[in-house]
Amino acid sequence: MYTKDSFENYPIFKNIIKKYGKVNLLDPLTKTILRGHMMTYVDDLIREKKPFSLIIIDIDNFKQINDNYGHQVGDEILKLTADNIIEAVGDCGLVGRYGGDEFIIVDLVHNDYDSMHLFLETIYMGVTRNLPCGTVFRRDLAVGSVKIFVSGTIGVANFPNDADNYDDLFNKADKALYRGKMKGRNCFIIYVHEKHKDIDISKLIKEPIQNTLFNLSALFDKDCSINEKIISVIDYIKKLLKITAVYLFDENGSCFFGDDYNVGDLSAFIDENDMAAYNNINEIYGNDKRIDKFIDDYNLFSVLIGRIMFKGKCYGYIIFSDSAVQRIWQNEDMALMYFTIKLIGSEIVFNKLGLK
């Protein structure tokens, strides 16, 4: 939490406090700097040609926290996260509230790719098993008796390396942020001109769910074998969600279309809706050596598991997975999983065919 002494080295904020008091500098809830003052500070740094990195932070799935636990818990998560960000940034810069669940950091120290990468790694850190949690994200936050796994997505751009004016700088940080969201959230992206210059944020909006379901139905309407249809569906889902892999198992846990794996009984990891999302692989790791081996061999960080059901009978399981990032699964991903398992189940029954 910021105190009056936190701004001793920042004349612009010292003047605001002297004139209006600290209460008019900080956001009432998170005690981070109000957005308007942060924008003025950014503008001043650019005008004075002082190098800095602009970091935009978005808490993943914050609406779901409010919906599931209430706004009072949501507010506590915001406050705790803000405190953790301020502590992580320390004397390197300042933290402001950018929007409802977004924060902004002006970092005066980490002005090259390598140093910024190392700094952001400390915010996340624990991306695999047996590592400590991050200072800010990929960690459980306790609010009363409730523990909530909190993650975030970060986009970064630097002045003057990436942009020499206010609008371009924010645009490039925003491009990096949206690239992180498209990768599945829960990650940071540092703007690199060669990689990100052609990103058009307006085109990064996900395909409408109705179009996705129509396309899936069309794949199953093709005049080909059930194996070919399922392979086409798997390829489509991987490209659509930008995930590493989709795995298919029979009702006994044996893997189709790939290595000779048996992951055992997956029913223990399924909810009443015949599926379950695990953003943190630790939630299922350690329950069965067979699935542990599968997770280790493919270096999985997060999985979405669905049971292929039709008319009360189980025909197998499907797993959406990511080994590139600890993905935060979205409601649209769950809807896609549900529709897919119903399509596959009905196809098996209607064709009176097995999957091999």
Pairwise CA distance, residues 142 & 338, whole Å: 31
Examine the pLDDT at 128 and tell me if it is beyond 50.
no
The fourth-level CATH superfamily of domain 4-203 is: Reverse transcriptase/Diguanylate cyclase domain (3.30.70.270)
Pairwise CA distance, residues 33 & 236, whole Å: 44
pLDDT at 125: 75
Per residue, the 3-state secondary structure of the chain, as one string, reads CCCHHHHCCCHHHHHHHHHHCHHHCECCCCCCECHHHHHHHHHHHHHCCCCEEEEEEEECCHHHHHHHHCHHHHHHHHHHHHHHHHHHHHHHEEEEECCCCEEEEEECCCCCHHHHHHHHHHHHCCCCCCCCCCCCCCEEEEECCEEEEECEEEEEEEECCCCCCHHHHHHHHHHHHHHHHHCCCCCEEECCHHHHCCCCHHHCCCCCHHHHHHHHHHHHCCCCCHHHHHHHHHHHHHHHHCCCEEEEECCCCEEECCCCCECCCHHHHCCCCCEEEECCHHHCCCCCHHHHHHHHHHCCCEEEEEEEEECCEEEEEEEEEECCCCCCCCHHHHHHHHHHHHHHHHHHHHHCCCCC
pLDDT digits (tens, 9 = 90+) for 44-100: 999 999 999 999 999 999 988 998 899 999 999 999 999 999 999 999 999 999 988
The torsion angle over the Cα atoms of residues 72, 332, 282 and 300, rounded to 10 degrees, is: -150
pLDDT at 201: 73
Picking from 122-136, 144-158, 235-249, 274-288, which range would have the lowest pLDDT averaged per residue? 122-136
The answer to whether 39 and 173 have CB atoms below 8 angstroms apart is: no
> Which whole number is the average pLDDT over 237-251?
87
% of residues, the chain, pLDDT over 70: 93
How high does pLDDT run on average in the chain? 87
pLDDT at 220: 85
The fourth-level CATH superfamily of domain 209-351 is: GAF domain (3.30.450.40)
pLDDT at 242: 80
> Which whole number is the average pLDDT over 232-252?
88
Pairwise CA distance, residues 329 & 283, whole Å: 14
pLDDT at 51: 97
pTM of the model: 0.74
pLDDT at 129: 46
> Which whole number is the average pLDDT over 127-140?
69
What pLDDT band is residue 127 in, cutting at 50, 70 and 90?
very low
The answer to whether 256 and 250 have CB atoms below 8 angstroms apart is: yes
> Which whole number is the average pLDDT over 229-249?
88
Examine the pLDDT at 289 and tell me if it is beyond 70.
yes
The answer to whether 185 and 151 have CB atoms below 8 angstroms apart is: yes
pLDDT at 203: 56
pLDDT digits (tens, 9 = 90+) for 172-207: 999 999 889 888 889 999 999 998 888 877 655 556
pLDDT at 47: 95
Closest CA to 180 of 115, 120, 96: 120
231 vs 86, 149, 350, 351, CA distance in Å? Answer: 47, 34, 18, 16
Structure tokens at 224: 């080909």
Examine the pLDDT at 130 and tell me if it is beyond 60.
no
> Which whole number is the average pLDDT over 216-225?
87
Would you list the domain boundaries of the chain? 4-203, 209-351
The torsion angle over the Cα atoms of residues 27, 28, 30 and 32, rounded to 10 degrees, is: 30
The answer to whether 42 and 105 have CB atoms below 8 angstroms apart is: no
Sign of the Cα pseudo-torsion (68, 73, 75, 79, in order): negative
> Which whole number is the average pLDDT over 206-211?
70
Examine the pLDDT at 295 and tell me if it is beyond 60.
yes
